[in-house]
Amino acid sequence: MSIRRPLSGPIGFNAQHSPMGAFMSFTCGNPGTKGGIGLQIGQPADQEVFIGLIDGDRYADATLKCLPFYVGAASNAAEAFMVEQAGPSEANVRPDAEPFAENEIKRSYGWATDSWEAGDLTFTVFSPFGPIPDPSKSSDRDMRDALRPAVVAQLIIDNTKGTKPKTGIFALNHSRPGPRMITDDLGGSARVGFAFRREAGVAAEVVDITGNGASDKPHAFGFMRWSATDGIREKFNPVHLLGSCPGIGFEVPAGKRYAMTLAIGSYLEAPVTTGLSGKYLYTRYYTDLTDVLRSTLDAAAKVIEKSDALDAKLEAATLSDDQKFLIAHATHSYYGSTQLLEIDKQPFWVVNEGEYCMMNTLDLSVDHVFWELDHNPWVVKNLLDNFVSHYSYTDKVKVYKDAGVSVHSFDHDPSQPPPPPDAAQLSRAYETAPGGISFCHDMGAHNNFAPKGRSSYELANLTSTFSYMTVEQLCNWTLTAACYLAKTRDTSWLKKNKKIVEEVLESFVNRGGEVGFAQFDSDKTAGGQEITTYDSLDHSLAQTRNNVYMAVKCWASYRALNLLFRDLGDKKAAQKAQELAEKVAGFVADQAVDGVLPAIFEKDNPGYNSRILPAVEGCVYPYYFAKTGYAGIKPEEVYASAAEKRMYDALKLHTEKLLLDPEKRSVFADGGIKLSSTSNNSWMSKISIFLDVTRRVFGLNANPAVAEVIKKADAAHVTWQAVGSAYWACCDQIVSGEGKASRYYPRIITSALWID
Amino acid sequence: MSIRRPLSGPIGFNAQHSPMGAFMSFTCGNPGTKGGIGLQIGQPADQEVFIGLIDGDRYADATLKCLPFYVGAASNAAEAFMVEQAGPSEANVRPDAEPFAENEIKRSYGWATDSWEAGDLTFTVFSPFGPIPDPSKSSDRDMRDALRPAVVAQLIIDNTKGTKPKTGIFALNHSRPGPRMITDDLGGSARVGFAFRREAGVAAEVVDITGNGASDKPHAFGFMRWSATDGIREKFNPVHLLGSCPGIGFEVPAGKRYAMTLAIGSYLEAPVTTGLSGKYLYTRYYTDLTDVLRSTLDAAAKVIEKSDALDAKLEAATLSDDQKFLIAHATHSYYGSTQLLEIDKQPFWVVNEGEYCMMNTLDLSVDHVFWELDHNPWVVKNLLDNFVSHYSYTDKVKVYKDAGVSVHSFDHDPSQPPPPPDAAQLSRAYETAPGGISFCHDMGAHNNFAPKGRSSYELANLTSTFSYMTVEQLCNWTLTAACYLAKTRDTSWLKKNKKIVEEVLESFVNRGGEVGFAQFDSDKTAGGQEITTYDSLDHSLAQTRNNVYMAVKCWASYRALNLLFRDLGDKKAAQKAQELAEKVAGFVADQAVDGVLPAIFEKDNPGYNSRILPAVEGCVYPYYFAKTGYAGIKPEEVYASAAEKRMYDALKLHTEKLLLDPEKRSVFADGGIKLSSTSNNSWMSKISIFLDVTRRVFGLNANPAVAEVIKKADAAHVTWQAVGSAYWACCDQIVSGEGKASRYYPRIITSALWID
């Protein structure tokens, strides 16, 4: 049974309600804006969502009260047909619905549910998730269940205390032309549905849940006019095939409580991607939209049960309400970006990058890996293989002929990202030295796969946004591979990739110079420099070279390589990797000044005076290798060597000092975590990893002062999402509390690390 | 060779450039708005179109001067990635193009071309048309040629007098995400292309047309950034896969004249319709978008030649420039609405209804029939058959128990359409009597086929817009069938449809009452009344019953049935049809008062005092039966019987009197034709038929006063289109000179009647 508890904080925010792998969201929640069913887009869709009730039968002269998920202006599509026509015909169109006020609404937000109560109405969306089975090993029935491109919703109208009928409705007013009523059999005459062309639709049936025995025969009715009210009330022609606003309604007699179950689904049958031609894997298991909707209604009870079980699981976790909220919100948006394709008859897993729709951005993938491995490790293998076969490249590194730091003009505001490269930077002389393998930032964007060996994002001759992330992505593939091994012990996969792993180590070595990590830029950057995933942050996290974040991540990568070579039986390489890990760790430890680490280890660099919390991010991986038993040691033994112990102590002290900084340079005014002391950009997904390391690796939560900082931060982070990014659902990149970029984003799923 | 002459009138209007049957338009021409490639939509698409040149090489610090087919604001898509970033990076983005002023541009507009000259640039779009062969009888090669879902364009840069290079470009800045560069082979390395996902794209190659011998090797280059200028000038990364504005450019050395040939095409591979599942027939003949673009470039020379020949043909017609303009404009928009599908492995012809996208609206089809029969009669048969098998129905007629006229309250402004039915109308008692077969208004809308026997448009219980058009559509199917026979003499088709033709006559008789035409409303209207195709006009053309327009159209239908029964060898039915024709003609003639015919033959009806020019519309059909030789008589012999001669005289006098009305109630202030003396609504397609009947059937052009009225009207009609409907390309429904509805419309193709 449901354990739903109303939110005590803000309730007016959008949530994505998504099946797995269908790149589909049913989005609603933010008052006064459009949403509804969106396919293959990085933002809320373009329908007005009417969910409401009339205190009377469908024709009653009573207001349609609705949840506030619509712009509110009456549709004027009818006017297009009625030129030079004054008042009379307009008289037919009643004013649109009246929204429930925010204080009349209670909202509960669970891991797999989202529920609103207002007046005698309860509307809940169910979007359960779970393992996607490996298609090569699973029955069609199991795949159908897992890949059903639909969510379930339920509209309950309680008229047990009423003395006359009430009427419930669900309608979507479309901006684009093409809605229609479904005339195919949805599994019995009591079911009613509507669709948008061939691609998306809603089907419904109504049941009596009064629980007092004798049931009449509840039934749903369809309508489609140019507004919800016009449709529901129209006596003669409730369905006009030219209408923009299809919907489904039902009347509830006095004394009754009815539930309308809704299947909200999609079906795209044709290949949808270019470059690599892919169609949705669900097309293997479903014949068309009607099949999707029919089977979703058939399975609705199971879907609801599964959702409630997931809600209960999160509720049972030893986390604060704020933390649970963030995890639930992250999970909702995560699945909205997922896209399981079939390419060359093989499954091909894609997570789209939120509003940007870049495909399998590798610096997101590495963050998603913990979640994926908990649910469906085969998609991680799929991803690793696809990067190797399609999106890897070999470069050289640049060895500048002048001094070791860039000649960038450093006289600008350090809180701003680096300026575009100037002529001096572009013409700076360098020689090349061997580089090695690395991986592309992404596989393409907006369903267009990039050409082989190329990302949609990376460009030459830049020093910040859109430059190459060669070392960062080398770390990311390595860490993803090691996590995959840690979880699955799939050494047969590892052995097939022996050569790649060897190339990876060589590539790290070639890039690491004297100190062992990220000393050179890829020649792919031409006159530019490599950047990190924090692409629009300031100097503290922009450049790769001599960056503390990169250093610790490289250290983690060497720990990862040590384990991979161990399993490959290559003791020498394993040993070398461990030596490099210790070398880098020692180097990092040596950089500490007054208990904190500079962001950039270059004294002339403006980033030298920045303090960044993501310094510790890399620690999450060796912890995972230990925790999963893969490393064969306890988590604290990760730091057994002298150098690594020194780095551990330095990072821990760094973290503690920053969190407790009396000047509060690492928190925002609202208490939220500020990743860099010199930038107002913060990424919620990265904060989540940082907090996990802080609590679990360093145990800093034991310090009540730190715990208090984190508690305040959690609360601020909820406000960032539910208020600062209310329209954009889950948002990653926050500027001073407002969701400014990386919106509608999957990566905050890193918050799920907090659960176990 | 081209016979292009610059337009002397307004040049700032959109034109649709469309292949046949692909429901695709490349639209441009209206300054300051978006256009580009639109698929399956009833309006201009959403791209900014940049066609221009730089006086210098691509990197030159000179303004990009463009034709004014863009909104003008620089794209800000890049900003999404660059949060909290001030001036520096913006410095990279140059201001966008500068448009040529209207007085710097010359535009020529031919039957199959559209051409702009500005500075050293000439841009021409070629959209030839011709017979679509019957797929069951034609080679794949011929079908590929006819159904190529693409148009050709050519950008010529003349640098013969220059002393440094010039650069030409063509780029489309997209509103929706998903553009990409084409990496497939387009037929040689000199060809470059870009696309929007899988569905639309542009490919190009450049040739030296200087004609002075020695040619270097001209080549095109691709680019894609966030604006046209940014893309063309970017040295390091001209292609960013995240860009919104793909384009193609070429440099022209001093002394040279280069032409870039462009293939602008589309390809939708999946089924696109619901209800009846149809995909584009061109998918039989083309494998994908690349195939379309490659073969279009291969065939470009032929396409250009064919277009020029069509231009020359229209130019040679004995018509005024205004008339030629209207025909050319109508033809451009006509093909933009055409959609040749494959359903159940059979071709299925659809003409979409302009901005409304209703499919095969029968009251449009009947107007398109002359054009179709001139080009591809088999699509008319296809349409007739599809109406019979999917979109016909059988009704009863209503016989009111009270008096013969409706009880509508007649006290409102007669220039306004009838009000919605009041309670008295809705509850007006009637008995039913046998009705018979008729045909639906349309087959669905926006790619959603309506359920069998039902249109998307018609609804019950209405008295104006959206009511049933039962008698009108019965006429329309009959007249279309007879025109088909007239042109093809396909008696084997007729014999297969003998039963239908018999049912049609019976249906006419049942609806005709004492006087023989349209005395009863269909019981499909329930409490409403039938309307005519002039659905948003006033009382003068709203109701079907006792309407002079319907009377004459019914007369024409009886003439049609007479010929059909003649060919079926049913002398008795043929005779009966002719008797009815004469009966109706006599009745019409008897209604004349003071030399004009009332619009509605009911003295209590406000339409009684209206005067309508479409009274004569029906005369076009018997004229066609005679002219094609089908009737076996000369056109003037159509009016051989006494009653028909009387009607002819009445209609001719009616027309002459209205056109020369000293109060000018049948022309607008600008001289354009006003179809009803009491309404400001006018339809250009219907004016075109009216003018054809006026000139050809009545020979009224011989009257210099009438000729002068028509000449002035032609000029006004050009302004209606080129100014009053500048954004919406060809527009049918005009309110006082402004294109207000039925925009982006196919039906004005009736103007092609003027040619022969």
Integer angstrom CA distances of residue B54 from A47, B58, B215, B566:
43, 7, 22, 68
Pick from A354, A290, A594, A625: nearest CA to A480: A625
Helices (H) and strands (E) in chain B, counts: 19, 28
Mean predicted confidence (pLDDT) in B197-202 = 98
Integer angstrom CA distances of residue B460 from A74, A248, B454, B467, B512:
23, 21, 12, 6, 21
CB contact under 8 A, B183 and A451: yes
pLDDT the model gives residue A94: 44
**What burial class does residue A412 get, using C-beta atoms within 10 Å of its C-beta: 0-12 exposed, 13-18 middle, 19+ buried?**
middle
Mutate to test the interface with B, among A40, A79, A84 (most CBs of B within 10 A): A84
pLDDT category of residue B446 using cuts at 50, 70 and 90:
very high
**What burial class does residue A279 get, using C-beta atoms within 10 Å of its C-beta: 0-12 exposed, 13-18 middle, 19+ buried?**
middle
CB contact under 8 A, B445 and A241: yes
d(CA A250, CA A262): 12
pLDDT the model gives residue B82: 46
Average pLDDT, chain B: 92
pLDDT the model gives residue A404: 53
pLDDT category of residue B50 using cuts at 50, 70 and 90:
very high
d(CA B266, CA A685): 40
Q: What is the dihedral of CA A732, A736, A740, A744, to 10 degrees?
A: 30
Structure tokens at B311: 């231009």
CB contact under 8 A, A195 and B81: no
**Contacts with A358 from chain B: Cβ below 8 Å:** 242
pLDDT the model gives residue B71: 86
Mean predicted confidence (pLDDT) in B585-613 = 93
Block residue for tokens 């004394």 = A255
Nearest residue, CB atoms, A177 vs list B177, B237, B446: B446
Chain B residue with CA closest to A355: the answer is B80
> Is residue B461 a contact partner of residue A234, using CB atoms and an 8 Å limit?
no
pLDDT the model gives residue A87: 38
At CA B10, angle to CA B7 and CA B16, rounded to 5?
A: 80
pLDDT category of residue B1 using cuts at 50, 70 and 90:
low
Block residue for tokens 């088909």 = B484
Helix axes B571-590, B498-512, angle to 10 degrees: 30
Alpha helix segments (H runs only) across B455-535: 470-488, 491-496, 498-512
Integer angstrom CA distances of residue B575 from A290, A608, A734, B496, B618:
52, 103, 83, 21, 20
d(CA B159, CA B216): 14
Q: How far is A270 from chain B (nearest CA, A)?
A: 5
Residue A606 vs residue B176, higher pLDDT: B176
**Going by C-beta distance under 8 Å and a sequence separation of 6 or more, which residues neighbour residue A661?**
none
d(CA B42, CA B50): 22
pLDDT the model gives residue B89: 40
pLDDT the model gives residue A73: 31
CB contact under 8 A, A269 and B271: yes
d(CA A701, CA A697): 10
> Is residue B297 a contact partner of residue B207, using CB atoms and an 8 Å limit?
no
Q: What is the DSSP string of A35-70?
A: BEEEES-SS--SBEEEEEEESSSTT-SS-EEE-S-S
pLDDT the model gives residue A93: 44
Residue B424: CB atoms within 10 Å: 13
Structure tokens at B567: 């060919």
The 3-state secondary structure of A184-220, one letter per residue = CCCCCCCCEEEEECCCEEEEEEEEECCCCCCCCCCCE
A133-137, A287-291, B2-6, B126-130: which range is least confident on average? Answer: B2-6
Block residue for tokens 């995933």 = A533
CB contact under 8 A, B454 and A89: no
**Going by C-beta distance under 8 Å and a sequence separation of 6 or more, which residues neighbour residue A632?**
none
**Contacts with A744 from chain B: Cβ below 8 Å:** none
d(CA B576, CA B565): 10
B173 SS3 class = strand
Tell which phi-psi region holds residue B169, choosing left (phi > 0), alpha (psi between -120 and 50) or beta: beta
Question: Per residue in B202-255, pLDDT tens?
Answer: 999 999 999 866 566 799 999 999 989 889 998 889 999 999 999 999 999 999
**Contacts with A457 from chain B: Cβ below 8 Å:** 241-242
d(CA A403, CA A407): 9
Structure tokens at B399: 């016989």
pLDDT the model gives residue A186: 96
Q: How far is B70 from chain A (nearest CA, A)?
A: 23
Chain A residue with CA closest to B80: the answer is A741
pLDDT the model gives residue A727: 94
Q: Is the pLDDT of residue B414 over 70?
A: no
**What burial class does residue B705 get, using C-beta atoms within 10 Å of its C-beta: 0-12 exposed, 13-18 middle, 19+ buried?**
exposed
Q: Judge if ipTM > 0.90.
A: yes
pLDDT the model gives residue A102: 87
Q: Rounded to a whole number, what is the largest CA-CA distance in chain A?
A: 89
CB contact under 8 A, B272 and A198: yes
d(CA A135, CA B317): 66
> Is residue A3 a contact partner of residue A718, using CB atoms and an 8 Å limit?
no
What residue ranges of chain A have pLDDT lower than 70? 1-2, 72-96, 212-216, 403-420
**Contacts with B410 from chain A: Cβ below 8 Å:** none
> Is residue A44 a contact partner of residue A35, using CB atoms and an 8 Å limit?
yes
